[in-house]
Chains A and B, each alone.
Chain A
């Protein structure tokens, strides 16, 4: 049996705030707006809860890109959660840059009523993930010759 690599469809993890971006994403769905089916959404009570470790673990688990999206500056329900998230995302970007995964993380601000912006954000991040190609970590797992050989063996037996 011959296993062929599948077409690259980016896996993007979206860590979003329930008050703004999640509401916008919900509205985009209700309004039947079309956007790439590349994001998996994780809802937080506030982006201020997002830890850098959550972002790194997402990449460990094989995400091609991670987007963090919170309220616009000045409109956080917890006053400054989104500002803290921005600082953390900036630091996480440095950590990812150090290990060669730069460009795969971005922070956005999407207001609760701004469903079109959510669509734009997903399109932008998908485009970026497509340009960067699959995260080398995932590619390593999926297309490694040894892994493929093992898979073929399993399938045969």
Chain B
């Protein structure tokens, strides 16, 4: 899932300072799981804003709503009429959700979180990165460990000379991704994979903004690949 981190309160407050009536829109999927922008976080931010502005004797009318997914047309469309009553929107979704709301509902929009990465939920409140969405997956060759993400240098034919006793030179707290790849392949009896030379990473595939059209829908969108 997508992991995000809430922005400092002062930054959010400054962004909405010119407005008198705002709507805070939460997202009930990834950012709700990583405790950054779900229904509860919407409530907390609204409460913080009310208190902070109350202390300055200012008035701000705040609406709160959380949709299932802000990156999905079917959940955003019904919101547009509702949003029209507000001067500005604070979106607590990842960057995708923020942009999608602005595209569909024409109101000034401000993000309340910094989107961090695609990662996993290790434990309550503890998330780590696993995928860089590079559009060229090596996990079948590398024993289920991504060299692009888990190696700070993104080496496809590692390890580099900096690995010391299986630790990474960029961060000695972390295990070297290529040591983990070796161990996994050894465990699976597929050490031969280590001898395979991987060609240059096709960085051109990750040129932004990316588009994916499912083969079954090619005719509908008249796409050519």
Q: What residues of chain A have their CB less than 8 Å away from a CB belonging to chain B?
A: 51-53, 56-57, 59-60, 95, 98-101, 136-137, 140, 144
Contacts and interface: CB of A to CB of B under 8 A. Distances in A.
Given A53-B47, A57-B47, A95-B48, A140 B8 contact: no
A100 B55 contact: yes
Contact of A53 (B9, B10, B44): B44
A136 B55 contact: yes
11 contacts: A51-B40, A53-B40, A53-B47, A56-B44, A56-B48, A56-B51, A60-B50, A60-B51, A98-B8, A99-B52, A137-B55
A95 B55 contact: no
Interface residues of B, number: 14
Contact of B48 (A51, A98, A136, A144): A98
Nearest to A55: B47
Main SS class of interface, B: helix
Contacts of B40: 51, 53
Interface of B: 8-10, 40, 43-44, 47-48, 50-52, 54-55, 57
Contacts of B55: 99-101, 136-137, 140
A100 B9 CA distance: 11
A98 B9 contact: yes
Given A53-B40, A56-B47, A137-B54, 4 more contacts: A52-B44, A53-B47, A98-B10, A136-B55
Contacts of A56: 44, 47-48, 51
